[in-house]
Structure 1
Amino acid sequence: MRTEQLKQEIIDYAKEIGIDKIGFASADVFGELRERLRRQQESNFQSGFEKGSLEERTEPQRLLPEAQSIISIAIAYPSRMKDAPRSTKEERRGLFARASWGIDYHVVLRDRLEKLAAFIQEKVPEVSNKVMVDTGELSDRAVAERAGIGFSGKNTSIITPEFGSFVYLGEMITNIPFVPDDPIEDSCGDCTKCMDACPTGALVEGGRLNAQRCIAFLTQTKDFLPDEFRTKLGNRLYGCDTCQQVCPRNKGIDSHIHPEFEPEHDLAKPKLEPMLRISNRSFKEKFGHMSGSWRGKKPLQRNALIALGHYKDKTAIPEMISVMKEDPRPVIRGTAAWALGKIGTVEAFRAIEAAMENEKDDQVLFEMEKGLEFKYKS
């Protein structure tokens, strides 16, 4: 079969199975990306979650020796929650970023890509391919940019004309030599709204992110959150959408195309206090299907404590005291002590002082001392 005909059949089939955008790119080395990644490494701007060596991340033939093309796909997700529950003084709520609403997108996109791979194999039995979604070695964004899915914005997101940057990305390396699509011209212009709005200044320049300062990354870490970022966290439990929310290219865009990405209210905006005591089993049953659960409950519980401190939620003090005294994990005990000090009631300060008498962990004691410092700042 001629590749031109096969390409059109793939495009048509992609629409049938719920792929919103599809593009075709060459499997040439990503030379410019390699230089950017090298700069990121030298500046220590990487998150540490990246997979593969510099060569594997920029040379498709390292992953599929016979690679000739890469098929890039994009699937849109919602940017607004209908009838979203409100956070009240009696029931404070946290927030999962939009990319974690609904079913884990890794599962959904891999399913679409595998269906696409099976379709191609029916047409070309001798085909070779490799499917990746987010956790693969290749940069989804670099592939999508080359394939004409969208342009890479100053916020480092791929921005599509149809769905803005609210899209999930995945790709398939193949040995079929498809004619590549043309990239889309960069349309950010002089706009710097994303850079100006970033809570931590993680966007050090247009298109360059210091992941070590990015709240989306910080919410996924498991250690104590550095002090400078705690006040920036707000009520975020997982991820951050600020640089997407302020982007003019996302104005008015809200794509409710795929039911599997619709947010479940009590999961996308869960009550904070119940998060503190949730068991491993209950956590997996309740949140396990969401992409935001991949790091387990510990980072989310730490973030929930910081959010309760941010809200100065006095109703949560008894539960937070219990966590500070009884939780076996130093990060959770210490963060609870800090958050209690942030709330700043007499009861909270007395509880910290009492807990210090039995605490043996130096890091937790340090956090308790920081919690007590709020007494002298108020």
Structure 2
Amino acid sequence: MDMEQLKSDIISYSKTIGIDKIGFTTADTFTEMKNRLIRQEMAGYQSGFEEPDIEKRVDPSLTFDQPRSIIAIALAYPSRMKDAPRSKRGERRGIFCRASWGTDYHHVLRDRLKKLEEYIVSRIPEARFRSMVDTGELVDRAVSERAGIGWSGKNCSIITPEFGSYVYLGEMITNLPFSPDKPIEDGCGTCNKCVDVCPTGALIEGGRLDAQKCIAFLTQTKGFLKDEYRLKLGNRIYGCDTCQTVCPENKGKDFHFHEEMEPDPEVAKPLLKPLLTISNRDFKETYGHISGSWRGKKPIQRNAIIALAHYKDETAIPDLIGVLKNDVRPVMRGTSAWALGKIGGQEAEEALKHQIEKEVDPEVLEEIQKGLQLMTE
């Protein structure tokens, strides 16, 4: 088999199945990435969602027998929403990050990778693969960078010349020896906008992220959010796009190539108050198909409460009082107490004073005290 011809054919075929960019690289150990991961771990900057074994994250041979090369793919997703609903008094809305618009990208990319595998096997029956999207052992960004998909930006995203950083990434390790593509030269230069505007200072420096401070990570946690981060969430209920929206490389980039990625405006920018009491069934039916639902409804509901405080939405006071009195989950009761304090008003104050006499959870009691204190400031 002429491997260069096969590579050319794979590239041509990939375009017919909705892969927007494809690259090839070696299956060598990602030595520099290993050093970076060790530094991240030592500094306590990991999110905890990653594969814990650093060796597996950088050495393809630990998860695949006799790897010869890696194929990386990228799919461009939309950056603008058509017919986006407006947030207005009494009908305040939250926002899911762009990477959570449309069908869960894990499913979309796995579909493309499966089709690619089937095509290659039809050409070489003995071909073997291990495909992964986001949750695999390898670092998607490191693979894509080495395969020439794009460069690793200061915002810790892969930035492609064609689509900016609005791309989903996936890869497959294979036993086939494809020739590697050349990496793309770094294009960030002296630009530091993403680092300068990061809401929580999570971008320590260009290309280095403290995931524990990143809003994208914080919106996925399930406990009480630290006070210092609450109002920095704004109306974000899942993820954060700030470091992408300020990037000059993303200016004017908006691609609508894949029907599965088109957002339902009412899902991507949902009304906040209905989220406070949504049932598990309704949450799954409405949001279960998007990647932002993977942690369940609890973080989304907590973030919705914080967003209502951000808006100081007085029309939400009865809803928040209902959560404070009736929700069985301390995080929801406590966050509602804090939100009532941020919004203020006599009705909110009376509810907090009434509930402090009934509440038994120490963390919730602390949040009620915070809420009452906020009303005096």
Q: TM-score range by the shorter chain?
A: over 0.9
Matched, 1:294 2:313: no
SS in 1 for 2:277: coil
Structure 1 letter corresponding to 2:269: K
Structure 2 letter corresponding to 1:8: S
Tell me the CA shift for residue 52 of structure 1. 4.1
Aligned partner of 1:114 in structure 2 is 114
Aligned partner of 1:345 in structure 2 is 345
Distance 2:196 2:154 in 1: 11
Matched, 1:43 2:67: no
Tell me the CA shift for residue 129 of structure 1. 0.8
Aligned partner of 1:149 in structure 2 is 149
TM-score, normalised to structure 1's length?
0.99
Distance 1:325 1:39 in 2: 45
TM-score, normalised to structure 2's length?
0.99
Asked if structure 1 preserves the Cα contact closer than 8 Å seen for 2:90 and 2:316, the reply is: no
Asked if structure 1 preserves the Cα contact closer than 8 Å seen for 2:94 and 2:237, the reply is: yes
Deviations 1:23-80 (A, max 9, x none): 0010000000000000000000000000240100000010102111000000000001
SS in 1 for 2:212: helix
Distance 2:65 2:103 in 1: 33
Distance 2:307 2:103 in 1: 25
Distance 1:373 1:123 in 2: 70
Distance 2:161 2:221 in 1: 33
Tell me the CA shift for residue 12 of structure 1. 0.8
Distance 1:348 1:119 in 2: 62
Distance 1:83 1:282 in 2: 24
1:136-215 equivalences in 2 (<5 Å): 136-215=136-215
Aligned partner of 1:102 in structure 2 is 102
SS in 2 for 1:39: helix
Structure 2 letter corresponding to 1:260: E
SS in 1 for 2:376: helix
Aligned partner of 1:360 in structure 2 is 360
Tell me the CA shift for residue 293 of structure 1. 0.2
Structure 2 letter corresponding to 1:280: N
Runs of 4+ in 1 over 6 A off after TM superposition: none
SS in 2 for 1:316: helix
SS in 2 for 1:23: strand
Structure 2 letter corresponding to 1:227: D
Distance 1:90 1:336 in 2: 17
Deviations 1:253-272 (A, max 9, x none): 10111111111011000000
Tell me the CA shift for residue 369 of structure 1. 0.6
Tell me the CA shift for residue 5 of structure 1. 1.0
Structure 2 letter corresponding to 1:30: F
Structure 1 letter corresponding to 2:179: V
Tell me the CA shift for residue 183 of structure 1. 0.2
Distance 2:375 2:227 in 1: 17
Distance 2:268 2:208 in 1: 28
1:44-59 equivalences in 2 (<5 Å): 44-59=44-59
Structure 2 letter corresponding to 1:73: I
Distance 1:13 1:358 in 2: 65
SS in 1 for 2:80: coil
Structure 2 letter corresponding to 1:115: K
Tell me the CA shift for residue 201 of structure 1. 0.4
Asked if structure 1 preserves the Cα contact closer than 8 Å seen for 2:93 and 2:235, the reply is: yes
SS in 2 for 1:228: helix
Gaps of 5+ in 2: none
SS in 1 for 2:237: strand
Aligned partner of 1:266 in structure 2 is 266
Gaps of 5+ in 1: none
Tell me the CA shift for residue 83 of structure 1. 1.8
Structure 2 letter corresponding to 1:150: G
Structure 2 letter corresponding to 1:87: S
Aligned partner of 2:252 in structure 1 is 252
SS in 2 for 1:337: helix
Distance 1:340 1:196 in 2: 32
